[in-house]
Structure formats: C-alpha cells, structure tokens
Amino acid sequence: MAPDKGESVNSLIADPPPGAPVPPILPPRDGYLLLDREQFPASFAGDLPLEQAEFMADSQVPWGVDALSGAVTSPAWRTKPSWYLVAEDDRMIPPPAQRAMAERAGATVSEVPGSHSVHLSQPDAVADIIKRATTA
C-alpha cells in the first residue's frame, strides 16, 4: 500500500472494482484480525508450495484492527524517491490498485509474477529493487 495523506488501508480497500479479489479477513476477535486459514494459501501465498502456505496460515501473527483505520499524516513518498514492486498475481492488493498507487507516488516500478508473498516466491526480484533503490 502507498496511502496518501488522510488515507488508511480501510479507505483504500473500501470500494474494490468488480471482480477484484477480496482478502479473506476474518471478523475481529479481541481487537485483532487474522486471515481465514482455509483461504490463506490461495489469497496470500498462491505461488508457494502448499505445505509452506499452510504453515504460514497456521503461524499468522494477529494484527490490530486499528492498523486498518490509521490514517497517514505525512506520506514519505511526497518528499522522497519511491520504488514499488507490483506482484502481478496478488490476491490481497489487486495489481491495478498497486499500479495506481505506485504511479500516484511517482515510484520507480518493477513488476513480477507473484503473490502477496512475493518476497518469498521472488526473492531475487525483491533484492534487486532494494539494491536499485539504495544506489539511486
């Protein structure tokens, strides 16, 4: 995500385009969220071996409900160079939304086939964009 001033994750996911995947976020429990274990592999880690994706589903760390509603006050991309790696097969953040946020941020964009877990499925692509950002 690359929210602008005043935006939150909630505001960015509030109105998905028709046909866009909907992240399988379960209802909050005690102020925390998790992804549905059964839908996790396809939604979060579709390009990883099933055993690895199931392990990830079982070892999720709950995240606070407030993480969705916290509004950004000063987006760093407004004053600093930005890079964005679009995961073309992401079923958590639709690739068209990723491209729009990256373009709005004026980011240097790379795209690779990969799920939301692109850091695991495409580690060389992730390392490459980090290297390019550190030498720019």
Which CATH number covers residue 22? 3.40.50.1820
Task: Answer whether residue 4 is part of any domain.
Answer: no
Residue type, 30: D
Model confidence pLDDT, tens digit, residues 87-116: 999 999 999 999 999 999 999 999 999 999
Answer whether residue 17 shows pLDDT above 90: no
Task: Answer whether residue 3 is part of any domain.
Answer: no
Say what the pLDDT of residue 47 is: 97
Task: Answer whether residue 73 is part of any domain.
Answer: yes
Model confidence pLDDT, tens digit, residues 26-69: 999 999 999 999 999 999 999 999 999 999 999 999 999 999 99
Quote the number of domains for the chain.
Answer: 1
Position 13 confidence tier, pLDDT thresholds 50, 70, 90: confident
Say what the pLDDT of residue 19 is: 87
Q: Are 99 and 31 in contact (CB under 8 A)?
A: no
Task: Answer whether residue 2 is part of any domain.
Answer: no
DSSP letter assigned to residue 99: H
Task: Answer whether residue 1 is part of any domain.
Answer: no
> 106 in helix, strand or coil?
coil
Nearest to 82 by CA among 136, 29, 121: 136
Residue type, 99: R
Task: Answer whether residue 65 is part of any domain.
Answer: yes
Q: Are 116 and 122 in contact (CB under 8 A)?
A: no
Answer whether residue 16 shows pLDDT above 90: no
Task: Answer whether residue 131 is part of any domain.
Answer: yes
Could you tell me whether strands 32-33 and 63-64 are parallel, antiparallel, or unpaired per DSSP bridges?
Answer: antiparallel
Question: What residue has token string 């960015």?
Answer: 12
Question: What residue has token string 């992730």?
Answer: 126
Domain hosting residue 125, numbered range? 9-135
